[in-house]
Structures are given as C-alpha cells and as structure tokens.
Structure 1
Amino acid sequence: MTSPTDPKDFSKLRSVAPINTDPNAAPATVWDKIKQNFAMFIEVSKNRPISETLCLKEALIFGIPGSFVCSMAAFLLTTNRIRVFQTAVISLPILSMGRFTQCRAAKHHERKATILVSKMIRAKTLTDGTAKQAEFERLFAKSKVELAELERQLDEIISKQQTGGT
C-alpha cells in the first residue's frame, strides 16, 4: 500500500496549461511572455511524427536541398572539403529553422485573420436590426476598400491557378 505522498503517485499526474480564451490577450507575467515567444518550438518537442507537426515537414523539405545547394556552391567557390562540410552542417539548421519560423508566423497571421472574420460575422448577426447596427456599418465601411482589394487579388490568384497561368 502506498502513502498519499508517495512519489510514484505524483508521476502519474500531468500538468495542464490553462485555456486562454483570447489568443490576442497580453501575457500576464514576464514568464508568460517568454513562453509565448517560444510557443511555436514547443510543438516540435511533443514527440509526434514529423508529418503531424505543423510546418516541420515543409521546413525540412526546404532545408535539406537548400543545404545541398549551399554545400555545392561552397565546393565550386573553395574546393575545400572541410569548408564544404562546414557549410552543409551550418546551412541545414539555419535554412530549416528560418523556413519553420516563417511558416509558423504565416499560420499565426492566418489564424488571427480567421478569428477577425468570425468576430465580424458574429458582430454583424448580433447588431442586425438593433440600435448598434449603424455603428457596426460605420466601422465596417472603413475596411470595405481593403477587403474589396483583397477579394480582387484572391480572385486573380484563383483564376490563374484554374487556368494554369503563372
């Protein structure tokens, strides 16, 4: 029989991060700020397959051939085998982490845009037919020009993809 303070019992417990309902909320403490800055790298340490980690497979697909190209360029420039090996070893993590960071930042911006659009839809449905409808329409009118330009650009991209144009 184990006592209530047995260390074996504590190993079965897991810590659970609190659920943050507002992803855009400012961190409460300095430690929270540090954790938020490195949150994208936590995904890598969760012991999942590479294909399930967001952007990691893409980063490696970009980094490995990029490292090969860098090492070939170093060989053509120096013909020094040690320098070629050093270039390959150094360029792989730099290219991979650069692409990983860029991809995660893009996904973060996409998520923020999705949240913004859902908030706009929710505000529109809540204000229709109320006294606040005019306020919402005035707020929405400020962004109509930018949204119309974005829609035009997206339509252009979609039509190019469908016709096979470059």
Structure 2
Amino acid sequence: MAPPMDSSDFSKLRTVEPISSDPTASPATTWEKFKQAFGMLVEVSKNRPISETVCLREALIFGIPGSFFCSMAAFLLTTNRIRVFQAAMLSLPVLSMGRFTQCRASKFHERKATILVSKMIRAKMLTDGTAKQAEFERLFKKSTVELSELERQLDEIISKQQTGAD
C-alpha cells in the first residue's frame, strides 16, 4: 500500500493537456478561440527548462544576436547611448517573439499535414476493394493541386529530419 500524499507532493506533478485529434476544428466559444490563439504562450509559462520548450531556444538564439546587431546599427547611425540601449531593448523581444511565432506556426502546419496524410492512408486502407473506392479516388484526383503542395512540404520536413536541422 502506497503512503498517503500530502499537498506538497501535488506541486511536483505535471499536468498534460490532451492533444486534439483534429487541430483544424473550430473552437465553440470565444474563450476557446482566445485559448487557441494564445496557446503557444502557455508552453512558455509552464516553468520548464528552455531546452524542453518547443521553439523557445531557437527564438532566443535568433533574438539575442539580432538584438546585438540592431544595437550596433543604432550606434553606427546615431552614436547616442540612449538610442543604442533602446534599440537593443526593443529589438530583443520583437525578434524573439517573431521567430517564436513563426516557428510554432510552422510546427502547427507540419502537424496538420501529418494528420492529413494519416487520414488519407487510413481512408485508402478502408476503401480498398469496396464500393467506396471509386468515391475516394475521385476525391483524391480532385485535390491534386493541394496534394502537390502538401508533398513539397512533406519533402522539406523529411529532408530537414534527415539532415538533422530543426
């Protein structure tokens, strides 16, 4: 029998949010829309190391040198110490949050593409040899333009994974 847990033990536990099976589903309420729009910021506020937060490390690696170069450019243009400090302080969060947002958006689109491909494979497996096979193939042929773009994006993802780039 396990010993009873006291309230200090609960602070050590992490909560895990369930992953929605369809990230493209529209939220029902205004609050859900707000949570979905700012969901990427929730990851940062979970008190985890930077290396475990998706895209945050990359955003800081991009933002810190970018801030340095912005401050150097401000120094070359104005030679005013206050302006240099302002340029550094303003460019760091702007560059970091811009890169963080772009990275999270690309991860979201990669995940959507993965879900779409898995649904297509599942539909193909379920319709092979049935009366619905013609309907699936007609639907598949109708979306060849979108699929060629999806294939290009998937090729990029595969090449990035094979080369070790993130």
TM-score (norm 1): 0.79
Instruction: Please tell me the residue identity of whatever aligns with 1:140.
Output: F
Aligned position for 2:78: 78
| Structure 1 unpaired stretches of 5+ | 1-7
Q: How does 1:1-166 map to 2 (within 5 A)?
A: 12=10, 20-148=20-148, 151=151, 154=155
Q: Name the CA distance, whole Å, in 1 between partners of 2:69 and 2:20.
A: 43
Alpha-carbon separation, structure 2, partners of 1:41 and 1:101: 9
C-alpha deviations, 1:104-150, integer Å up to 9, x for none?
00000000000000000000000000000001001111233554566
Shift of 1:40: 0.3
TM superposition score normalised by structure 2 = 0.79
Is the 2:113–2:150 Cα contact (8 Å) retained in structure 1? Answer: no
- Structure 2 segments unaligned to the other structure (5+ residues): 1-5
Deviations 1:69-123 (A, max 9, x none): 0000000000001100010011000000000000000000000000000000000
Provide closer, same or farther for how the CA distance between residues 151 and 127 of structure 1 changes in structure 2, counting only shifts above 3 A: same
- Distance 1:146-1:39 versus aligned 2 partners, 3 A rule: closer
% identity of equivalent residues:
76
Letter in 1 for 2:133: Q
Farther off after superposition, 138-147 or 47-56? 138-147
Between the two structures, name the one with larger relative contact order (CA 8 Å, sep ≥ 6).
Answer: 2
User: What CA distance in whole angstroms lies between the structure 1 residues aligned with 2:146 and 2:128?
Assistant: 23
- RMSD of Structure 2 on Structure 1 (CA): 3.0
